[in-house]
Structure 1
């Protein structure tokens, strides 16, 4: 069964892998990002360090971790419903192992977008613009997601961050 425009998306993967993905430094960075983002663990760590070091905003830093975990969990639920398989075309190089065979949406994109939006708002830095595009690109370089997987993951992560922030505002008001 086909999902969306897989042949077109496979061509995009081929172009990314033949372009920036052909650079061993880019491939190494993409693998590092993959390990950092696995199960949102890197973002949990960032939230925990922020909570330890920035006592006045401890709750907000905890929100970064909670937002990343919640977004990751939402992506897992959606993966199990949609059941889109990861790219399996012979022309696509898979450059990292994955915990599942399911592709849509990208959990790395989801948790990264959620954490970047929440931490960006907290710090006043443009973290979504700086952190999200490289994570999305890394999933294509590694050959483990289609472009629509990472775009949907980023949108889900941003929506998850908005929900976390709405809850935080209610807590701040009480």
Structure 2
């Protein structure tokens, strides 16, 4: 293997060089990784929202369904594409992963869907607040290529929009999309 990273490997090395040694970056990135594993953090947030905000229960439950479906979609795509995770010697892998498959990032996928769907009941711009840190964390941790993360965001947006449409048609959530 060529000693000098090229393409997406070079991007990962640059991101890690710029950020990984900054105080708190790796612990925060690892925390995001554990939170997003199998979309479990988003399922907990959705369940808690449904429990504490009964008037918005269906919207919170739709967010949980969307996060779960987005994660499932990412897993199916990973098994079809079978792209291995980054492995260049210059890239530090800073967290364990449940599989060796990289494309798309399931963390970026479920986070995007959850952020889109949780924006409705919370009234917050969650896509802008949640997606960039999760996406960047996957690069800092060295477990995804940039294209894995971007594809995950696209898949998550498609799933989130689809769940939102179905929920509105079924009358389980009100109004237009945020």
Specify the alignment match of 2:105 in structure 1: 106
**CA–CA distance in structure 2, aligned partners of residues 69 and 15 of structure 1:** 32
User: Partners in 2 of 1:153 and 1:122 — Cα distance?
Assistant: 23
- Stretches of structure 1 that go unaligned for 5 or more consecutive residues are 1-5
Q: Aligned equivalents of 2:79 and 2:119: distance in 1?
A: 30
Per-residue CA deviation, residues 39-88 of structure 1 (Å, 9 max, x unaligned), is 00000000000000111111110011110000000000000000000000
Residue-by-residue CA offset, 1:110-168 (whole Å, 9 max, x unaligned): 00000000001222211000100000000000000000000000111011001100111
Task: Report the counterpart of residue 78 of structure 1 in structure 2.
Answer: 77
Q: Residues of 2 paired with 1:123 and 1:25: CA distance? A: 28
Where does the alignment leave 5 or more consecutive residues of structure 2 unmatched?
173-178
Paired residues of 2:59 and 2:120 also in contact (CA < 8 A): no
Would you identify which runs of 4 or more consecutive aligned residues in structure 1 move more than 4 Å? none
- Correspondence for 1:64: 63
TM-align CA RMSD: 1.1
CA distance in 2, matches of 1:54, 1:100: 36
Q: Which whole-Å CA distance do the structure 2 matches of 1:164 and 1:134 have between them?
A: 23
Paired residue total: 168
| Corresponding residue number in structure 1 for 2:147 | 148
Distance across 1 between alignment mates of 2:6 and 2:151: 18
Q: CA deviation at 1:95?
A: 0.3
TM-score (norm 2): 0.92
Q: Which residue of 2 aligns with 1:138?
A: 137
Q: State the distance in 2 between where 1:170 and 1:80 align.
A: 32
Shift of 1:170: 1.1
Greater percentage in helix = 1
Give TM-score, length-normalised by structure 1: 0.94
